[in-house]
Structure 1
Amino acid sequence: MYINDKLDELLSVESQRPYSITYKHHIIFWAVYFGLNTLRWGSIHNDFMLSLKTNLIGFPIHIALSYFNIYFLMPKYVYTRKYVTFAFLMVVCLFVMLILKFNLTYYLVSTNVMPEGPEYTDSLTLNYALTTMYGELYVVAFATAIKITVDWLREHSKLHDLEKRQLTTELKFLRSQVSPHFFFNTLNNIYSLTLEKSDKAPEVILKLSGLMRYLLYATKKRKQDLKSEIDCIQNYIDLERIRFNDSLQIDIGISGDLENKEIAPMLLVPLIENCFKHGASKNIGDMNIAIDINVADDFLYFNVANTIPKNEANSKVATRSGGIGLSNVKKRLELGYDQKDYDLAIFEKENMFHVDLKLKV
């Protein structure tokens, strides 16, 4: 799937709801956890009433310590890298929890505070302390892991959403950038004709109005019909033919099945425009531009070549491959298509400057 197929959806539909933990989730989590724990220990002791009583005492302690760790200790000490202080305070909390749980169990439930143990325990022994602290740490770690995971998912979602919005904004900017560049050159053509009081000026204005109509509607879409894009190219070429008269030789070939093929709007026009801007307008004498458009096996093969101006014949390709036109096309391909779905080549051959584009349509 093309990356471009997802970009514009960001502006037309709401973003996915962010990951969050609501009060309902808290209640459901602790209720399920309490129920399972009660059934578990009731089955072990074969005494569900004892299990219920001990869990009614233990779970408020679990909940208090878990939330104290998640919302106070970790933000204040772990996130600020005060690990020693965090460890010390956690040990203090566990010790307070131990004393509280022992006394509540002893006076409210049973003097045997650890019925699962191998022997009767009615005092604060080391085995009871270690077992109780370990169990408390297990619950706190479990709750903390859930909170950290949800926080990570939320931040990752926000970052991903921000990246997509930035990508969409940049792509839309590049689309709109084509129009001012294109109109700037075309208006210059009209200006030249009006200075010469040429009878061709009305025809140029008429064709320009057709192009403006295409740009107003086509560039709002994610994809445009390939035939419409080619019609736009042909109108542009007709405008340039009027400007250059007989000094310009243009060979254009169109083949293949163009039906039901789509392309990012105004993607090909800058490549044609580049030929006139850096080729024809800077040349002296006869000028040649060759355009070949072929569609085969769901791929568009777009090849365009123009005569290299004599004063630039010995310069490097890199100096002529920049500018708004080609750099715009490169960026739009990077943002709008998967890398495997296009191939752009820019090179010189036999005093001609070539741009070859293979694009999935």
Structure 2
Amino acid sequence: MFKKTTGVININDNSNFNITIRHHVIFWVVYFLFTTFRWGSYFNDYEYAFKTTLLGFSIHMTLCYFNLYYLMPKFIYTRKYFVYGIVLSASLFFMLIIKFNLTYFLVSNNVWPEGPEVTSTLTLNYAIEMMMGELYVITFVTAIKVTFDWIREHKRLIDMEKLQLETELRLLRTQISPHFFFNTLNNIYSLTIEKSDKAPRIILKLSELMRYLLYETKQKRQSLTKEIICLQNYLDLERIRYGDQLKINIDISGDIEDKEIAPMLLLSFIENSFKHGANKNIGEVKINIDFNVIGDFLHFRVSNPIAALRDNNAIKETHGGIGIDNVKKRLELGYKEGEYYLDINSDDEEYIVTLKIKVV
């Protein structure tokens, strides 16, 4: 079983993709200077280029912002494309009339010096050329705005997906603690009814586990050493409960220092070995637990005997456990493809869980 996962990012952190007033100013200043020097060198008259560019840019900016913040929200986002085309064309024509008159009366009688001939009237060729030029500017500016909007929205969706995964992981971790405490408190209840001397020691061990669960399991990864200590505390609880009837063999090999694992991930497997092993057996029960770190991976194995029922009228479980399903889901969400391998199998005598998981 190999699954993928993702991390988490603050979904409000979109500052790198917001277009501010400063960006608007920089864009138009650069565009203005570029156009001025371009036409200034073309006509060899920078004063004329400055005047026409200044006049043209007031029209460019008006059309661009009118399109971005009125026409597109009102017509494009509502899928009224035909109406959008009509209104945009009318806007271009209206601005054409303004530009022609401003150029004619404020700059030069020849309103189209770069054209094929002297133009002092509103001709069809002039109208087409000017409207296409304005449409080019509108398209260019709109493309920039749409691109930034797409990047920001794409980032927001990715961050929401990551946040949802992280939220689900946290929910799964919170499910472990109630499940574990439910079983342990049932054990304490049974011992107190029997007035067993084991009850105080179990309560003390349980408090140590509670402290760990409350303060050490909030992060995405936890020290493997601390996790093993937590598991040993749990096993101490079970030893107190079962006494000499329970035999636990623990083997730890390899370098476990500076290794990290998802918190409370292994507890469900060990808890399950008691649920389906020691809880239902008579006589001595042997549980084998191996921790073997090889390179970047922990090879974890736990085995327990299949339950030998006390009698044919053994009480059936009325509540399905969430432990194993929980840990499978956490593996799917918390680790990438190739970072873990889980195998659970059993025969007539033994139940075996084998997990290979990345711990760096």
1:205 aligns with: 203
2:28 aligns with: 30
Conservation of the 8 A alpha-carbon contact between 2:252 and 2:290 = yes
Conservation of the 8 A alpha-carbon contact between 1:18 and 1:158 = no
Conservation of the 8 A alpha-carbon contact between 2:6 and 2:165 = no
Conservation of the 8 A alpha-carbon contact between 2:245 and 2:285 = yes
Amino acid at match of 1:78: I
1:360 aligns with: 358
State the Cα deviation string for residues 227-266 of structure 1 (Å, max 9, x = none): 2211221221222123233443433222111122122221
C-alpha separation in 2, matches of 1:224 and 1:92: 64
Q: Secondary structure at the match of 2:15?
A: coil
C-alpha separation in 2, matches of 1:302 and 1:212: 24
State the Cα deviation string for residues 57-109 of structure 1 (Å, max 9, x = none): 11111111111111111111111111111111111111112121112111211
1:298 aligns with: 296
Q: Secondary structure at the match of 2:51?
A: helix
The within-5 A match list for 1:117-196 is 117-196=115-194
C-alpha separation in 2, matches of 1:125 and 1:16: 48
2:314 aligns with: none
State the Cα deviation string for residues 337-357 of structure 1 (Å, max 9, x = none): 222211112222453222211
2:261 aligns with: 263
Q: Secondary structure at the match of 1:340?
A: coil
TM-score where L is the length of structure 2: 0.89
Q: Secondary structure at the match of 1:339?
A: coil
C-alpha separation in 2, matches of 1:233 and 1:4: 26
How far 1:291 sits from its partner (Å)? 1.5
C-alpha separation in 2, matches of 1:72 and 1:5: 38
TM-score where L is the length of structure 1: 0.89
C-alpha separation in 2, matches of 1:10 and 1:307: 46
Conservation of the 8 A alpha-carbon contact between 1:176 and 1:219 = no
Tell me which moved more, 27-36 or 245-254.
245-254
C-alpha separation in 2, matches of 1:73 and 1:214: 58
RMSD value, Cα:
2.4
How far 1:117 sits from its partner (Å)? 1.5
Conservation of the 8 A alpha-carbon contact between 1:270 and 1:326 = yes
Where do 5+ consecutive residues of structure 1 fail to align? 312-321
1:314 aligns with: none
1:324 aligns with: 322
Q: Secondary structure at the match of 1:164?
A: helix
How far 1:203 sits from its partner (Å)? 2.1
1:232 aligns with: 230
Amino acid at match of 2:342: L
State the Cα deviation string for residues 281-334 of structure 1 (Å, max 9, x = none): 2345554422111111121000112223357xxxxxxxxxx7311122122222
Identical positions, percent: 60
Conservation of the 8 A alpha-carbon contact between 2:209 and 2:230 = yes
Amino acid at match of 1:86: Y
C-alpha separation in 2, matches of 1:90 and 1:184: 68
C-alpha separation in 1, matches of 2:274 and 2:10: 36
C-alpha separation in 2, matches of 1:145 and 1:4: 33
Conservation of the 8 A alpha-carbon contact between 1:15 and 1:161 = no
C-alpha separation in 2, matches of 1:310 and 1:77: 73
State the Cα deviation string for residues 89-139 of structure 1 (Å, max 9, x = none): 111111112121112111211111111122212222222111111111110
Matched pairs, number: 347
2:212 aligns with: 214
2:272 aligns with: 274
How far 1:220 sits from its partner (Å)? 2.8
1:110 aligns with: 108
C-alpha separation in 2, matches of 1:23 and 1:10: 24
C-alpha separation in 2, matches of 1:33 and 1:127: 25
Q: Secondary structure at the match of 1:186?
A: helix
2:248 aligns with: 250
Amino acid at match of 1:99: I
1:89 aligns with: 87
Structure with a larger share of its residues in helix: 1
Q: Secondary structure at the match of 1:259?
A: coil
In the alignment, which of 72, 75, 100 is matched to residue 74 of structure 1? Answer: 72
C-alpha separation in 2, matches of 1:90 and 1:20: 26
Q: Secondary structure at the match of 2:218?
A: coil
Q: Secondary structure at the match of 1:323?
A: coil
How far 1:5 sits from its partner (Å)? 9.5
2:316 aligns with: none
Q: Compared with structure 1, are the counterparts of its residues 260 and 33 closer, same or farther at alpha carbon in structure 2 (3 Å cutoff)?
A: same
